[in-house]
Amino acid sequence: MGGPEVEAAVAEAATTPASHARPTWPWARRLARPVLFAAASLALFAAYLRQAQTVPVNSDGGSFALQAWDILHGNVLLGGWTTADLTFYTTELPEYMIVEAVRGLNADVLHASAAITYTLLVLTAGLLARRR
């Protein structure tokens, strides 16, 4: 019913190992790790944002947000500001500036910045803990 060509194809398929019969997608293996890392990053950020929103904003965070807003609008050395003895000029203020450039000045800046900090901390610890 099938002819000699079909019988030859069936015989060849029966002798071919199963690993060669399935198509392989090398690009899928290369993309799997970065896609999983990005998905985990987004999930961590969402969880930490939700957690950060449970804490009310106080005057300390508000003053840092206002300082970042002032730096963003040209007062880079914070002239006229009386800063605390513990300054976050090189750590948190740049992060607040980036968030404020995207979202504007509001109370969510503090929550989003906290979520970014938590996420980066966990991802960095995870990357450093890898064996390679």
Q: Quick one: DSSP state of residue 128?
A: H
d(CA 65, CA 101): 12
Beta-carbon contacts of residue 65 (< 8 Å; ≥ 6 apart): 96, 100, 105, 109, 110
**pLDDT, tens digit, for every residue of 62-119?**
999 999 999 999 999 999 998 777 778 888 899 999 999 999 999 999 999 999 999 9
Q: What ranges do the domains of the chain cover?
A: 32-129
**pLDDT, tens digit, for every residue of 7-54?**
766 666 666 555 555 566 777 788 888 999 999 999 999 999 999 999
Nearest to 72 by CA among 102, 95, 101, 92: 101
Amino acid letter for position 120: L
State the pTM of this model.
0.74
